[in-house]
Amino acid sequence: MKKDGRPIVEKPLLSVLKGERRERPPVWLMRQAGRYLPEYRALRADKGGFLALATDPVAAAEVTIQPIRRFGFDGAILFSDILMVPWALGQDLSFGAGEGPRLAPALVDHTLASLEAVPARLDPVYATVARVAGMLGPETTFLGFAGSPWTVATYMVAGQGSRDQEATRRFAYADPAAFGQIVDAIVAMTIDYLAGQIANGVEAVQLFDSWAGSLSPDQFDHWVIAPNRAIVDGVRARCPGVPVIGFPKGAGGKLPAYAAGTAVDAIGLDETVDPAWADAVLPVGLPVQGNLDPLALLTGGEALDRGIDRVLAAFPARPHVFNLGHGIGQHTPIAHVEQLLAQVRGA
């Protein structure tokens, strides 16, 4: 078949996200564009820092393309960071050498009204998207992303990451109205941000909720399910037909409620989830993504083979995107990624 005189090329990943099951699932890996690749390390050293790299459309596009060029993954994930949204909301963003990201002023001590939004800070990301869209082969699905409101808010409130998100959890309990204003601001900016990515060439998007597992059930409903549903609804209203993947890391037994409440098009499973259990409890036909343990990939050999087989066997009738349960580790050998791809693809 042809469209406008050109052949229609199949996109395996996009078709699965839209509900088609494949005998061999398409593959991409979270953090596939990053520190485990020598070509990435060389480029980052040349640019002199993460933010400089992420806001240079030529360099960020090159990083996005590097794992596609090397491995031929079925999806390319935009190279950026979940903290671009708080940066656009007016916080200062920095990445110190050997440290995690820092946001200032921390909203545990300042009001949201003290910030002045600078949405133009997102323009380099849109330029990166447009550049990548023009570089990808027609069979590769282009994935955009944003952080989910709860996870983004934990950084905005505390000014940095933490192991237990105590400062933000206490803030949400002590002043839910003020915390709700922060979440609402994140939701609104995120809808604009994802719509902007889609307008420039992204074909599906993922919402990363890295700290969803730190919340009680009631708080999970309030600060994870409800705001993610607002984003899903907002993206669908502006960009009909674009799949949204939800990744609530650590949600565990709350995954069915998340799937039903957010109405995401696909759901990512972290490595702690039994994939057979997920297949049994999630809605029939809902595409899932995951969930190999990144440490199995780091280890390689028989441990990797067993882990891959277990994930592949867990979804006998469900649309499935093969991925990790979290991001690929920076010390993962290239040969182990090649082993994974050969086994998943039946090479």
Q: Which of 36, 40, 44, 74 is labelled catalytic?
A: 44
3-state secondary structure of 93: strand
**pLDDT for res 248:** 98
**pLDDT for res 163:** 84
**pLDDT for res 162:** 85
Q: Which of 36, 40, 155, 193 is labelled catalytic?
A: 155
Torsion of CA 329, 144, 63, 6, to 10 degrees: 130
| 47 pLDDT tier (thresholds 50, 70, 90) | confident
Q: Measure the CA–CA gap between 155 and 161, rounded to whole angstroms.
A: 6
* Structural domains for the chain: 10-344 (3.20.20.210)
Q: Which of 56, 81, 221, 233 is labelled catalytic?
A: 81
Average pLDDT over residues 128-139: 97
To the nearest whole percent, how much of the chain has pLDDT over 70?
96
Q: Which of 31, 131, 169, 318 is labelled catalytic?
A: 31
**pLDDT for res 254:** 97
According to DSSP, the β-strands at 2-3 and 204-209 are: unpaired
Average pLDDT over residues 41-45: 91
**pLDDT for res 155:** 96
Average pLDDT over residues 274-292: 97
**pLDDT for res 98:** 66
Average pLDDT over residues 3-27: 83
41 is catalytic: no
121 is catalytic: no
Largest CA distance in the chain: 61
Q: Per-residue pLDDT for 18 more than 60?
A: yes
31 is catalytic: yes
Q: Which of 35, 70, 102, 345 is labelled catalytic?
A: 35
Condensed to tens digits (0 to 9), the pLDDT of residues 94-111 reads 987 667 899 999 999 899
**pLDDT for res 8:** 53
Listed in sequence order, the residues at least 6 apart from 243 whose beta carbon sits closer than 8 Å to its beta carbon are 14, 17, 18, 204, 205, 265, 266
**pLDDT for res 288:** 98
| 339 pLDDT tier (thresholds 50, 70, 90) | very high
**pLDDT for res 2:** 45
Q: Show the beta-strand stretches assigned E in the chain.
A: 2-3, 6-7, 75-77, 92-95, 101-104, 141-147, 204-209, 244-248, 266-268, 288-292, 320-324
Condensed to tens digits (0 to 9), the pLDDT of residues 206-253 reads 999 999 999 999 999 999 999 999 999 999 999 999 999 999 999 999
Condensed to tens digits (0 to 9), the pLDDT of residues 140-191 reads 999 999 999 999 999 999 999 888 899 999 999 999 999 999 999 999 999 9
